[in-house]
Amino acid sequence: MSRTCGLRPAVVNKRKFQPSMSRVSIRGLAKSFGPVQAVKDVSLDIPDRAFVTLLGPSGCGKTTTLNMLAGLEKVTRGEIHLDEQNITSWAPHERGMAMVFQNYALYPHMNVFGNIAFALQLAKVPKDKTRERVQRVAKALELEALLERRISQLSGGQQQRVALARAMVKEPKVFLFDEPLSNLDAALRTRMRSEIKKLHQQLNATSVFVTHDQEEAMILSDYIAVMRDGELVQYGPAEDVYRKPQHIYVATFIGKPRMSTIPGHLRVSGQDGVMTFDNDDIHLRWPLATRDGQATAIDAEVHLGIRAEDARMSTDGAGDATDTFTGTVALVEPLGSDTYLEIVRGPHAITTRVEPDLHIKPNAQVVVQLPRHKLHFFDAGSGVRLNL
């Protein structure tokens, strides 16, 4: 029987299955556990050979989405396509995907060789071919000297590499990673993050990675899907998600340190050619720069957003420019290559990045400049970005 008649064969011919591309399309995906909706109408297209991260806090639905991709969770509603093939109801081993779990899920009674070879043995790959593939993967991940060791004799980083090797040896078209670095210490996590990125570049496979760590997402990803409460809030190239957040949730979730936001009233008037932002403590004014001489009139409550690297700080002058305000340094955080200052004005705070050799002390009075072209504005009610 063929798939075109709606039935799946008992065994997939993997040579025929292997597509020339590895595009994944998720269409209206939803998952409910009784009355609880864990994932709500998620749709996104994952390009061939891209590294895509599902990013969000615990309980946002990212792991459930990954499990549906892998076939480990049944889809309540929606479809999953791999290169135009609807694989929504296919069994996990039929999908051409390999998963690296958060807890590695290694077999403690087997040695490293046995763990890596297990899937090939289940598939009845000839012994000589199995050994050849295991040796090749072990060499790539520097595991050759550890093949006879038990899992209990390995460090956390070595166990992580065994988990990666077990996925690689299947030669999948799509790699799925479920927070694989969360159990590692900071130094090892940084090193393994680099290894995963190098591995992705070498294998030319499509990768879907789940994490709650936005720094990890920015470093690894070509594309980021930001999730909250089971919904997809924004999906796009990593740089766009950082530089052009479409919602205040994305703006304050992505970035380290987080984007500073200040509530206030925004007024844009094409008649007098100015744009103003006001609250009880801060009053800012910028000239309008429009391409056609016209500006959309705005009179709304908003949140102004500014990244630490975009706010400019000075200890000189009285802050006479209309795009500045004076404030007090409340906190100094030296981090070696950079120093971050928290500057307060009334109940409002801005974090700005300065050079480490600029020795600023707490309680110093400074001037903060907020350049118009570096600012973000979000509607106070909906949180949606205002494209000015």
Our CA angle for 60, 78, 70, nearest 5°, is 65
The CATH class of the 19-253 domain is alpha beta
pLDDT score of 3: 38
Q: What number is the average pLDDT over the span 108-120?
A: 93
pLDDT score of 12: 35
Cis peptide, bond prior to residue 287, ω within 30 of zero? no
62-91 pLDDT per residue, tens: 999 999 999 999 999 999 999 989 999 999
- Pick from 200, 201, 287, 303: nearest CA to 249: 303
The pTM score is: 0.87
Q: According to CATH, what is the number of the domain 260-379?
A: 2.40.50.140
CA 45 to chain centre: 15
**19 pLDDT band (50/70/90 cuts)?**
very low
CA atoms within 13 A of residue 4's CA, in its CB half-sphere = 0
Q: Could you state, in order of their start, the residue ranges of all structural domains in the chain?
A: 19-253, 260-379
C-alpha to C-alpha distance for 298 and 379, rounded to whole angstroms: 11
C-alpha to C-alpha distance for 273 and 22, rounded to whole angstroms: 50
Q: Would 19-253 and 260-379 be classified into the same CATH topology?
A: no
pLDDT score of 291: 54
Place of tokens 């958060």: 102
22-68 pLDDT per residue, tens: 899 999 999 999 999 999 999 999 999 999 999 999 999 999 999 99
